[in-house]
Structure 1
Amino acid sequence: MARRESKILEDIQLRRWIRAGTPVAKSDGDGLTFTLSAAGLAAWTLRFSHGGRRHELTLGRYPDISLKAARDLASAKRVEVQQGRNPAATIRKQKSIKDWTVRQLIGDYEEKILPGLADSTQRSYKRNLLRIAAGMGALSVRDVEGPDIVAQLERVEVGWVESFTLWCVLKAIFKHAAGKKLIVASPCAGVSLEAVIGERPEIRKRLMLTDAEINVLTNAKMSKENLLSVRLLLATGVRASELFTAQWADVYLDEARWHIPASKTGPAMDIPLAPVVVEWFRELRRLAVGSDFVLPAHANSRAERLGGDTHISKDCIREAIDFWIVNHKPKIRRFTPHDLRSTMKSNMRRLGVPRDISEMCLNHKLPGVEGIYDQHTYYDERRGALELWVSFITCCMAGDEWNMTPMRKTA
């Protein structure tokens, strides 16, 4: 930089030039220049050399930036040049970065990332994206800091699991922002979910319904569709999502077989159906009245909203169970649809079904090397286990005492 010249501009001169309205460009020395355009726009520019080239940097408008402030700012920029940085290049880079709001970031994430996630993940993420948009959507992505993330987590009063999902969504959208170079680093870095909302509560232990509770459940005072749904969940051990999304195209009643398509929860699997289970499916088919779905939506509003023929909602079976327990007060412990899987698993072991067969009936992957190399579906073995289990269920339904010999491992 050239040696600093004496300051030659004064505020009274600047105001006089502005009143005159004649375009001027007057130096204050050492590269700092006051300019007035023909349109009456007064501004400060700094001219300097960097890398063997001449550069010009606009510092701001006058009188927004006073003469003294312009001199101080120019001095700070000269220090940057002396340290080897180009302040003009820095400003250009900052201007090239998109200054998005969080709401704009969410829109881009929903367009480019969300469709690639599993359907159930999309639903839970969309719920929390709405929460984020409501809480911090107007903020600039650049301005979001750790305390804003903490405030977002604290303002949403939901359970620990849903808060964890919200936390995952926050990390996902700001990772997306960092990937687009809207920010240098995610504001989620260093934030601890446990420090904000506490440690995860102890996971609820799964129930094994007793013989008496199975009797009460399988004779429950529910609608026919709900009762048959609960019986099917208990008899087949499928996940609730696999039943409420099931289509008749995958149910082969003449072959006593139900095909479960592959999903994120497990590979495709064919479930052998015991004779009484086939009859339960036939009853549901009569009740479905031509729907493509085993459990068609009850409410016309849901069908209209989703474009016509569709299945029941994901909470329908759970809500039917809760309604029955709350209003009829049966002699049974509070349980969820997933507890029916643990009931089948535990009782199968009690009935002598080998552990690996009971695991495969639940579509669980066998552990270790065996799970990698053993590709046999054990269809016949699973059919025998499920028929034994269904015999036990029908015995409980009738209130009879179980007196059959447990299954024994073949040599």
Structure 2
Amino acid sequence: MLTDLKARQAKVTGKSYAIADFDGLYLNISATGFKAWHFRFSWGGKRELMSFGGYPALSLKDARELREQARELLAKGVNPHSDRKRKRHAIVLAGDHTFKAVYDKWLAHRSLSLENEGRQSTPKQIERVFKKDVFPLLRHMTIYDVTRAHLLDIIGRVEERGSFSVAEKLRTWFTQLFTYASVVVPDMGDNPSKDLD
């Protein structure tokens, strides 16, 4: 059984591995050290896996509560992974959590603390770069469906045209945006902006 101390002290080994808690809950440690809660369960004779979110943002106590909720659904004959997807889909239909909607909220929040005048000011730069490089791919996607591969693809295209400073800024902005999303978007799960370097 895991303790918070064991979770905190889990070492980076250069290979992905998992430490078991109990009743299907595991703390997965990636090769680069990112820690995430996973819940393993059986459904229809097959093994399934769902992610609850990253540690320490999601505590051991909270991860156990999510596991218990998932086990309650299983006891009622409901697949917890499918149930979460259905709930997310309902939220998406309301239009609140497309990538563009979350971006707009993040930029408004960020602009409160930044000067918003002139072409070279940070909010204006962000708007230009996202309009040119990010929105063509991500605008209508839900925030839940954006993966690290999508973000790396965008950054790679920017680097291919030789805009290395813009690529570096995009890494920073993606990290800020998804950190913000992990706070304001329900059931956000894993942060795809981790380890973009």
TM-score (norm 2): 0.48
Looking at CA atoms only, which structure, 1 or 2, has the larger radius of gyration? 1
> Which of the two has greater strand per residue?
2
TM-score (norm 1): 0.25
